[in-house]
């Protein structure tokens, strides 16, 4: 199963003609670790689908402290959708946390395709619904789950995340300090050891 088949698993099946039209918009690009695909203040023209690698969105406060809002992995889409829709500058940075291979899709070309193909229009609607639910789930996590529960949920989604990105990025995403994350990890390792010994 290729990248786009994985991506479309979340959505309705596309007829071959519509699928091919979508693929024709996608241009593969390679990015290095720490490369930005969009910076705050820029007006992006494209969104991306991740073939491999990890991308984060984040913002900085006036003291240059970073707050990671979302971590994106394959085969998710990423990019400043709010900026693409409104035409206003991005309020978030989008940065590759690892070497990454992304497919760039021009947003205006995609929107034009939605006016020509009802199946692509339906796909766009479903993608927007998916993003809304994802953001709603993120708000729930931060509001209801404690730090340990948020960490376990992230580990379930990306089991080997520590192998790919720095601890402070993980801590920022969980809205805790690196020290707190270290304590949580030590406590979980301790509990695992106790359970193994039983």
Q: How many residues does the chain have?
A: 198
CA–CA separation, 24 and 139 (whole Å)? 35
What pLDDT, on the 0 to 100 scale, is given for residue 75?
87
**What's the number of domains the chain is made of?**
1
Question: What is the pLDDT confidence band of residue 104, given thresholds at 50, 70 and 90?
Answer: very high
| Residue 28 forms part of a structural domain | yes
Q: Which residue has 């010994």 as its token pair?
A: 197
| Residue 23 forms part of a structural domain | yes
Q: Is the entire prediction scored with pTM above 0.75?
A: yes
CA–CA separation, 6 and 98 (whole Å)? 21
Cβ count within 10 A of residue 109: 12
138 sits in which H/E element: helix 118-144
User: What percent of the chain has pLDDT above 70?
Assistant: 92
Beta carbons of 184 and 148 less than 8 angstroms apart: yes
What pLDDT, on the 0 to 100 scale, is given for residue 195?
55
| Residue 85 forms part of a structural domain | yes
Q: CATH code at 16?
A: 2.60.120.10
Residues 6+ apart with CB under 8 A from 46: 79, 104, 105, 106, 107
Mean pLDDT over residues 71-88, rounded?
93
Beta carbons of 45 and 108 less than 8 angstroms apart: yes
| Residue 196 forms part of a structural domain | no
Q: What domain range is 106 assigned to?
A: 3-144
Q: Read off the tokens for 87.
A: 């035409």
Q: Read off the tokens for 144.
A: 């209801």
| Residue 110 forms part of a structural domain | yes
Specify burial of residue 83 (Cβ count, 10 A radius: 0-12, 13-18, 19+). Answer: buried
Q: Which residue has 């290095």 as its token pair?
A: 32
Beta carbons of 8 and 22 less than 8 angstroms apart: no
CA–CA separation, 122 and 129 (whole Å)? 11
CA–CA separation, 135 and 69 (whole Å)? 10
Mean pLDDT over residues 176-197, rounded?
79
| Residue 166 forms part of a structural domain | no
What pLDDT, on the 0 to 100 scale, is given for residue 5?
65
Whether the predicted pLDDT of 194 surpasses 60: no
Q: Which residue has 């695909």 as its token pair?
A: 37
């Amino acid at each position: 199963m290729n990248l786009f088949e994985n991506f479309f698993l979340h959505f309705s099946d596309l007829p071959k003609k519509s699928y091919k039209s979508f693929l024709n918009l996608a241009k593969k690009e390679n990015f290095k670790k720490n490369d930005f695909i969009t910076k705050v203040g820029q007006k992006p023209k494209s969104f991306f689908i991740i073939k491999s690698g990890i991308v984060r969105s984040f913002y900085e406060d006036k003291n240059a402290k970073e707050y990671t809002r979302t971590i994106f992995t394959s085969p998710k889409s990423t990019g400043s959708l709010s900026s693409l829709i409104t035409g206003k500058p991005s309020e978030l940075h989008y940065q590759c946390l690892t070497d990454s291979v992304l497919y760039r899709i021009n947003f205006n070309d995609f929107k034009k395709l939605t006016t020509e193909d009802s199946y692509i229009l339906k796909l766009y609607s479903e993608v927007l619904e998916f993003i809304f639910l994802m953001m709603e789930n993120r708000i729930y996590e931060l509001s209801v789950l404690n730090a340990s529960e948020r960490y376990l949920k992230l580990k379930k989604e990306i089991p080997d995340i520590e192998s790919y990105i720095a601890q402070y990025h993980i801590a920022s995403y969980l809205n805790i300090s690196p020290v707190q994350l270290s304590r949580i990890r030590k406590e979980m390792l301790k509990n695992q050891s106790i359970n193994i010994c039983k």
